[in-house]
Structure 1
Amino acid sequence: MLMHVTFTVAVAGASGYAGGEVLRLLLAHPQIEIGALTAHTNAGQRMGDAHPHLLPLADRVLQPTSVESLHGHDVVVLALPHGKSGELTAALAAAGSTALVLDCGADHRLTDADAWEQFYGSTHAGTWPYGLPELILADRGTRQRDVLRSARHVAVPGCNVTAVTLALQPGVAAGVVDPRDVVAVLAVGYSGAGKAAKTHLLAAEALGSLAPYAVGGTHRHVPEIEQNLRAAGAGEVRVSFTPVLAPVSRGILATVTAPVAAGMPAATVRAAWEQHYADEPFVHLLPEGTWPTTAMVTGANTAVVQVAVDERAGRVVALCAIDNLVKGTAGAAVQSMNLALGLPETAGLTTVGVAP
């Protein structure tokens, strides 16, 4: 009977990239009815002005983001700037809302309040179940999807974090890499920076240029990456993380290296990735010698992964490509929503990309 149930979903922050991508996916979901669409500065605007590609929603008008607008739905998706979700969630609970709440921001991802305050500079809003179903939970011998099946609040992961985690976690879980010396360099599409008008995000500045940012351990995703690798079985974790803006609108290509465990043959290393991803619907280990590209995953909820051993350097090289707006954000939200609502995990999601 559950397969015939329809759930209503409200999206706060619907005019932004993340909110728009959530709506694109929900429009293809067989059991979702789209409810209130809200915004802050763009309240009163037509959806067709904010997202002309979402034609079925073009004539909908964005409402102010308020408890009154969001209350009464089965699911509430928060696609808001960091630091804005905690207060709104508390107000919804005070109003008696029992909705499943999916936070696409960072507010509830970290388990360490001190790490939150160090990297975000504000009071920690609390920790919610983490919305990466494929995350390996070494101490339980299971995956995060088992936690999400009973969740009423979900913290959607950071997009860069998803790419690094999916690239390396099988090696950590299997003990074939040393997580005390992880180096991750990412090429990242500009949509990850959001829609806000900033000089360095203008086409005149970005086109034809590669630009590193948050260099030297300052990126806010560092503690989240460390948290995930510890969940996968690492003891001490040290991560050097450098993102680089690339002149594409979508996509992340993560290149992650770590020392290979002493005496570990390359075949054993690859076997760890084969074992951990054999049954995952959205994580695809490519054939040996084939390398991930962002074009493989544009518009899809897929992560494509490859692993190799650099014998001369004594390091494992793991690569992962995702669409930062889909598997990196909106797809993770919908995938987690499906689990929490008891729906098929793959409902409304596709592994089919868009090319060229």
Structure 2
Amino acid sequence: MIIDMPSTTTSQVNAKLVQLREQGGVTTLGRVLTLVIVTDDGQKTEGAIEAANAASREHPCRVIVVARGAKRAAARLDAQVRIGGDAGASEVIVLRLYGPLAEQGASCVVPMLLPDAPVVAWWPSEAPPSPAEDPIGRLAHRRITDSAAEKNPIKALEQRRKSYVEGDTDLAWTRLTLWRGLLASALDLPPYERVSDVVVTGEADSPSTELLAAWLAVSLKASVQRKKATQGEGIVSVRLERRSGALTLERPDGKVGTLEQPGQPARRVALQRRSVQDCLTEELRRLDPDEIYEMTLKGLDKLNKGRSAANGAKTASAARRAPRKAPARKPKAAAAKGSS
């Protein structure tokens, strides 16, 4: 059931929700959290609602969609209430804000929050520079962004690193769960040898590839090289060098991966690119800070410094090997001019 409420107020929307519950004979709310989706009003709004509806079947929740409309229009709030089959296992409240109200999403969300229930904020496309400092972000226990959906994914990921606060997470990190699980389980098998070098290959603008490289650098304390793929989508391959040979995991088609280890037959593993729905469902399973994600974000910085340090060490080493030359003497006139 979809009920449109043009030019309304938050109090009228709340009254309509109470009326619908009374008509349906519902006396209690089996909702475990409030999911606030912040987006611009457009086609992407419906895609985000569909993903939230699918995730609500595992996490029954109240979904509040803040769809920001034209800022130059007159101040107006158009609401839409969705329940039943149109809302999955949740109840969806779509708030379309126009004019000055477009920047007042938090004040419209507060009256709709479920009492004594955690709040999760999700930006399915462009997110604020610092989600924790955003008015809606301040209301949330967890803040979900998606660097891959932004105009410049790598720049967005770097911004996530700079502005990280406990409770932040990114769907680019969630997309790594299958890769991390396969690589960790493969390293748990003999031979138990140290990984000396790592090569991670993926699309140039893939934030997940960057995060996977940083995670391996921090976890294995190895030298990691990030390469750009000439074909394929997202993460394409990982190569871990060990004394007995290389362990490789490749996924050229974005669907099926091939895991190869010395002394073992090649194995084909399901490694399809994950949908937004799957990633959102996984992130809603936890409300505590993700320490591994935080460590990996710091690893991005350490990885860059490690490369710079390695280059610097090579330059310094070459300088030490080069023969020293006596400094050339400046002409007296030039020296006098330089000191003025």
Give the TM-score normalised by the residue count of structure 1: 0.47
Q: Which has the higher contact order (CA 8 A, sep 6+)?
A: 1
Normalised TM-score (structure 2): 0.48
Task: Judging by fraction of residues, say which structure has more helix.
Answer: 2
